[in-house]
Amino acid sequence: DGGITQSPKYLFRKEGQNVTLSCEQNLNHDAMYWYRQDPGQGLRLIYYSQIVNDFQKGDIAEGYSVSREKKESFPLTVTSAQKNPTAFYLCASNPTGKNTEAFFGQGTRLTVV
């Protein structure tokens, strides 16, 4: 089945450690996105990529990094510079075209202790 896979579903890390969240899609979509979700704030865009080896910062990129070495993969690293990393992280992708909807993974809940 085609879809977007985020792993792991739950992740615990100690403060000060970097952590990488995985996002893989087999939909052959060009564009991929990372969003952060906090209660009452909706989804905020962290980074997005419209093509391999290219990505742009979203509204809250500070403390995060990404790579897009392969079309199907868009991992997100939460660095120790991120002041408040505990959140629900959602990865999405969509095919080329402004009227196309985004398809979402099931999310990763990161808890930093």
Decide: is 16 part of the binding site for other proteins (CB under 8 A).
Answer: no
* Beta-bridge partner residues of 5: 24
Using rule CB under 8 A, residue 105 touches other proteins: yes
List 31, 52, 60, 61, residue binding other proteins (CB under 8 A): 31
Shortest reach from residue 80's CB to other proteins, in Å: 26
Kindly give the pairing relationship between strand 108-112 and strand 10-13.
parallel
For other proteins, the closer of residues 90 and 112 by Cβ is 90
Residue 50 binding other proteins, by CB under 8 A: yes
